[in-house]
Amino acid sequence: MARRSASDDMSRSRNGLALPRRSSTAPLRPIRSEAAYREALRDIDALEGAAPGTAGFDRLEVMRALVAAYERSHHALDALTPIDAIELRMEQLGWTRKNLEGILGSRARVSEVLNGRRGLSLEMIRKVHLRMNIPAEVLIGPLRRRRARRARRR
């Protein structure tokens, strides 16, 4: 009996990319669980680089739309403050505060923004949005969550 290799489970697209066999034949379905979400991300990675006009490219576009819809409903950034969003994205990108200096300005300015002492200017919001791919709507919000005020005694 012949041994199966990992390449046996792969097919080749027209442009020579290795695609998981299940991606080319599995019907597209809404993403309803984290497991399906992770699988969709793996499929998107496998389809990256597909040539426009091919079936692989069409599938890639549909998969991206499905993932975006799932992320909007399950991984909402709306609950995050601008600082939370920046720190989360920094972690995802493997960035340190040093990487923000080119976007926000000096080391002192980065510290002021991340510690909530200085708000983001319109120019900073534009740069962060473009370079870190954080929705501008998230960056416009209040820097810190407002604490519930205690009733004052009279």
Q: What is the pTM of this model?
A: 0.47
pLDDT digits (tens, 9 = 90+) for 73-113: 776 655 678 999 999 999 989 999 999 999 999 999 999 99
Residue 20 is predicted with a pLDDT of 47
Would you place residue 4 in the very low, low, confident or very high pLDDT band (cuts 50, 70, 90)?
Answer: very low
Q: What is the predicted pLDDT for the residue at 69?
A: 87
CATH class belonging to 82-140: mainly alpha
* Residues contacting residue 79 through CB under 8 Å, at least 6 positions apart: none
Scanning the structure block, which residue is given the tokens 């998230």? Answer: 138
Q: How far apart are CA 65 and CA 82, in angstroms?
A: 25
Domain ranges for the chain: 10-74, 82-140
User: Could you give the residue ranges of the DSSP H alpha helices within 7-106?
Assistant: 21-25, 34-47, 55-74, 82-93, 97-104
pLDDT in tens, 132-148: 999 898 899 776 654 44
Geometric angle at alpha carbon 32, from 30 and 35, rounded to 5°: 115
